[in-house]
């Protein structure tokens, strides 16, 4: 990044002033690039901190909320949303998983997790992208946060005391000056690439198909993760007796499945899904996603912090990606609020490294866990098949072990952000 002369101070502009025309300069404390779930969670967490915040999102709010995806939403993410005041907005439209069943292909023994194992009223929650996004967008709209949609960062210049972003917004370009830029701009993160932060990781041999279904019989708030040798197959129960399928298979097989006529695709789906919920009705077009493991070698740089998929991506097994990002956002908010209260420079490396030390290590653990699950279960190597089936039996019988596994899967380990309450 090029260097910028020492910071000048500009009065913050109102949203109305932003509409006024070109050559505007907006000065904020924190500029969040990417108004997806993770960027908006951070904006929400900072809304009452006294810091001035801008969110820059490339799409319109409607486009950003329209993604057809549902997430396994962890207990820790739910606690963070509760403490941010978002829960009343999302709770009516989400499901509480009352059972999560893990099994190995057609091996009849399954491990069943129940709320008693977690000591809560649910094992997990099922939340749709649009539900989470609308709650966040509504909250951000009522706070004094500059939300710039259909806006793209075209140039970044980092100086000693601030970073300058040149933003394209229709025919209304804007210069934004911030003490800290947060990249929440997804897995391809243009900001991460521009900052020259390298990543570690690989693409898996598998792709992932997602599709929305309505079973004939009630899903009974039960989630399934069934590990077939070709890849894990997950069923997430959603509101309105719908289910989201997350189906992983080797690339060629996944592509071939997607190319099948609908009746044959449904027959293949039934083979993995089973017949326990009767006939299945397809509610949307199946979609294909590449699957990768990625960890940024650094989460921070002078005046820059990475959160969410901009910092890391993992295999969808176990539904961890979004949940890791929500914890990143909560952790960074806590670090920034403390720094602000102590009068520290928000963009200084000494401040940002507190966030990096906290989150990078914990995310390594989850990335390793999802990688271990994928490799251990996506194969037919006989000794490993025996070993994992033994593991399933042991987990099935020993509740304390199920509790430990659940703590890891639901993000209830490591350091929980204090400002948002303890578990
Ligand atoms: C098939 C599948 C299933 C999954 N299931 C789960 C699950 O069950 N549970 C779970 O926890 N995770 C799950 N994940 C992972 C989860 O989807 C991601 O971790 C999460 O969406 C990342 O959110 P994000 O806000 O970091 O990035 P994104 O959702 O990619 O948002 C980035 C935002 O930045 C904007 N943007 C990009 N570039 C710019 C720019 N230059 N300027 C301005 N704005 C920009 C984009 O428009 C977008 O709105 C799944 C992933 C896949 C692929």
Give the number of C-alpha atoms closer than 13 A to the C-alpha of residue 166, restricted to the C-beta side: 8
The answer on pLDDT for 422 being more than 60 is no
Here the tokens at position 206 are 């598998």
Is ligand 1 within 6 A of the CB of residue 347? no
Ligand 1 binding pocket includes 323 (Cβ within 6 Å): yes
What's the 3-state SS for the chain?
CEEECCCCCCCCCCHHHHCCCCCEEEEEEEEEECCCHHHHHHHHHCCCCCCCEEEECCCCHHHHHCCCCEEEECHHHHHHHHHCCCHHHHHHHCEEECEEEEEECCCCCEEEECHHHHCCCCCEEEEEHHHHHHHHHHHHHHCCCEEECCCEEEEEEEECCCEEEEEECCCCCEEEEEEEEEECCCCCCHHHHHCCCCEEEEEEEEEEEEEEEEECCCCCCEEEEEEECCEEEEEEEEHHHEEEEEEEEEHHHHHHHHHCCHHHHHHHHHHHHCCCCCCEEECCCCEEEEEEEEEECCCEECCEEECHHHCEECCCCCCCHHHHHHHHHHHHHHHHHHHHHCCCCCCCHHHHHHHHHHHHHHHHHHHHHHHHHHHHHCCCCHHHHHHHHHHHHHHHHCHHHHHHHHHHHCCCCCCCCHHHCCC
How far from the centroid of its chain's Cα atoms is residue 124's Cα?
Answer: 15
- Asked whether 58 lines ligand 1 (CB < 6 A), one says yes
Probe target for ligand 1 pocket from 74, 186, 225, with the most ligand atoms within 8 Å of CB: 186
Q: Which atom of ligand 1 is nearest to the CA of 77?
A: 11
Cβ of 38 less than 6 Å from ligand 1: yes
The model carries a pTM of 0.92
383 Cα to the center of ligand 1, angstroms? 37
Structure tokens at 283: 């509610």
Residue-range domain boundaries for the chain: 2-67+132-200+293-377, 70-127+206-291+381-409
Mutation test residue for ligand 1: of 33, 34, 77, 208, the one with most atoms within 8 Å of CB: 34
What's the average model confidence in pLDDT over 210-216?
Answer: 95
Return the residue whose CA atom lies nearest to atom 50 of ligand 1: 316
Query: Would the CB of 43 count as within 6 Å of ligand 1?
Result: no
pLDDT in tens, 272-322: 888 888 889 999 999 999 999 999 999 999 999 999 999 999 999 989 999
pLDDT digits (tens, 9 = 90+) for 85-117: 999 999 999 999 999 999 988 888 989 999 988
Q: Angle CA(4)–CA(331)–CA(299) in degrees, nearest 5?
A: 45
Q: In this structure, are residues 378 and 231 in contact, taking their beta carbons and an 8 Å threshold?
A: yes
Pocket test for ligand 1, best of 224, 284, 316, 359 (most atoms within 8 A of CB): 316
The class that CATH gives domain 70-127+206-291+381-409 is alpha beta
pLDDT above 60: residue 168: yes
What would the two tokens of residue 178 be?
């911030």
The span from the first CA to the last CA of the chain, in angstroms, equals 41
The residue to mutate among 137, 322, 326, having the most atoms of ligand 1 within 8 angstroms of its beta carbon, is: 322
Tens-digit pLDDT profile for residues 63-84: 999 999 999 999 999 999 999 9
- Among protein residues, the one with the nearest Cα to ligand 1's atom 21 is 322
- C-alpha 204 to ligand 1 mean position (Å): 18
Long-range Cβ pairs for the range 258-265 (8 Å, 24+):
258/209, 258/286, 258/288
Across 318-322, 327-331, 380-384, 415-419, the highest mean pLDDT is recorded for 327-331
Nearest CA among 344, 343, 341 for reference residue 353: 344
Cβ(68) – ligand 1 distance below 6 Å: no
CA 98 to centroid of ligand 1, rounded, Å:
26
| Cβ pair 73, 323 in contact under 8 A | yes
Indicate whether 1 pLDDT > 60: no
Determine whether the shortest distance from the Cβ of 64 to ligand 1 is under 6 A.
yes
Q: Within 10 Å of residue 186's Cβ, how many Cβ atoms? A: 18
Ligand 1 atom closest to the Cα of residue 187 is: 30
CA 74 to ligand 1: nearest atom? 11
Q: Does the beta carbon of 56 lie inside 6 Å of ligand 1?
A: yes
* Residue 234 scores a pLDDT above 50: yes
DSSP lists the bridge partners of residue 153 as 167
Check: CATH 3.50.50.60 for 2-67+132-200+293-377?
yes
Q: Is the CB of 34 under 6 A from ligand 1?
A: yes
Q: 86 with 140: CB under 8 angstroms?
A: no
Q: What confidence tier does 7 reach under pLDDT thresholds 50, 70, 90?
A: very low
Whole-number percent of the chain with pLDDT over 90 = 72
How much is the pLDDT for 420? 57
């Amino acid at each position: 990044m090029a260097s910028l002369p020492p910071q000048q101070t500009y009065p913050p502009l109102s949203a109305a002033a932003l509409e006024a025309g070109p050559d505007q300069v907006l000065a904020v404390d924190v500029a969040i690039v990417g108004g997806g779930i993770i960027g908006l969670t951070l904006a929400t967490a900072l809304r009452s901190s006294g810091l001035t915040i801008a969110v820059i999102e490339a799409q319109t709010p409607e486009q950003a909320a329209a993604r057809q995806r549902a997430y396994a939403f962890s207990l820790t993410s739910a606690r963070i949303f509760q403490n941010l005041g978002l829960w009343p907005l999302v709770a009516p439209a989400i499901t509480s998983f009352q059972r999560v069943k893990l099994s190995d292909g057609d091996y009849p023994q399954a491990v069943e997790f129940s709320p008693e194992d977690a000591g809560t009223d649910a094992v997990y929650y099922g939340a749709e992208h649009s539900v989470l996004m609308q709650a966040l967008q509504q909250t951000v709209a009522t706070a004094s946060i500059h939300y710039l949609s259909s806006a793209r960062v075209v140039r970044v210049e980092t100086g000693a005391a601030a970073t300058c972003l040149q933003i394209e917004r229709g025919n209304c370009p804007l210069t934004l000056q911030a003490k800290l830029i947060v990249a929440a701009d997804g897995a391809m993160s243009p900001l991460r690439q521009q900052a020259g932060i390298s990543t570690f990781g690989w693409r898996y041999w598998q792709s992932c198909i997602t599709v929305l279904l309505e079973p004939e019989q009630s899903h009974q708030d039960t989630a399934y993760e069934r590990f077939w040798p070709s890849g894990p197959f997950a069923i997430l129960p959603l509101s309105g007796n719908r289910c989201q399928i997350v189906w992983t298979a080797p690339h060629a097989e996944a592509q071939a499945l997607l190319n099948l006529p609908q009746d044959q695709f449904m027959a293949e789906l039934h083979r993995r899904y089973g017949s326990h919920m009767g006939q299945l009705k397809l509610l949307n077009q199946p979609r294909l996603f590449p699957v990768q493991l990625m960890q940024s070698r650094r989460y921070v740089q002078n005046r820059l912090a990475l959160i969410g998929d901009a910092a890391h991506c993992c295999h969808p097994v176990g539904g961890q990606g979004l949940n890791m990002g929500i914890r990143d956002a909560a952790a960074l908010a806590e670090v920034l609020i403390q720094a602000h209260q102590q009068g520290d420079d928000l963009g200084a490396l000494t401040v940002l490294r507190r966030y990096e030390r906290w989150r990078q290590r914990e995310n390594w653990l989850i990335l390793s866990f999802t990688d271990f699950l994928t490799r251990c279960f996506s194969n037919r190597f006989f000794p490993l098949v025996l070993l994992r089936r033994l593991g399933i039996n042991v987990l099935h019988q020993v509740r304390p072990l199920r509790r430990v596994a659940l703590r890891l899967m639901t993000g209830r380990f490591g350091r929980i952000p204090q400002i948002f309450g303890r578990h």
